[in-house]
Structures are given as structure tokens and as C-alpha cells.
Amino acid sequence: MDAGAALARARELASELPAAVDAARYLEAVEAVPSDDIGSPRAEDAAFRRARAAFVSRVDAEMAWLETAAPAARQDIDAAKARASNMEIHTLAGIIEHDQDDLVPAARDLLDAKIAYGPGAASFSKPRS
């Protein structure tokens, strides 16, 4: 599956973020993950890996940095949930909470997203209390 269109959209959105977010660093990490190479020529896979060798050499440091960025993601999603409540916000919240092994809030948010997406669903207009 070609992720080119999704990455292009992510770069576009990243350009709108404040510099303090360091979106380019997140995108570099995303772009360093190879796609499924089944059916791809070996030369193509080798070229991909050579092009990302610099990132791979510092992957441990990058993973440590991503772990320190996680609390900021949680703060951002909590602020978003305080302002509005819809399927997208609850889905993202559930993913972030799951990745942080906070499974009860993750389950609640993913269920809220599923309810919001259900038949006849509309975005919630009031924040949860």
C-alpha cells in the first residue's frame, strides 16, 4: 500500500504547526518505517534502507525522544476533549491512551468513538465531565 498521499497530507498539516512541535522529526520517524516489501524488488528495499541509514543509526535516541513527547500528546488530546467531543477526537484519544498502557480510559474513548460513528450518530456538542 502506497503511503505517499497520506505522507504528503501529513507534511502539509505539519507545516501549519508551531515550530516547537518539531513535526519534521515525527515525520522523519514515520518515513523511516518500511512498508510491506512483499513483491517489491530487493534493489528497491535496499535503496530504501540505505536512504534511511542515518536515522537507523540514531533510532534508540529517537525512540527515547518519542517517549518524552508522549505526555504532551496526552495533554493535547485532553485539551481537545475539553473543547469538543466527536469520533475523531475520541479515536485519537483512545489510541494515545492505549499506547501509554492506560487501558480503561482508552476503552472508554474508543467506545465513545464507536457510539459517535454508529447509525444516526452525530458529533457530540458538549464535553464530557
Average pLDDT over residues 45-56: 87
| pLDDT score at 102 | 85
In this prediction, residues 54-75 reach a mean pLDDT of: 83
DSSP assignment of the chain: ---HHHHHHHHHHHTTS-GGG-HHHHHHHHHTS----TTS-HHHHHHHHHHTHHHHHTHHHHHHHHHHHHHHHHHHHHHHHHH-B-HHHHHHHHHHHHHTT-HHHHHHHHHHHHHHHSTT---B-S---
Is the model's pLDDT at 88 over the cut of 50?
yes
- Look at the pTM and tell me if it is higher than 0.95: no
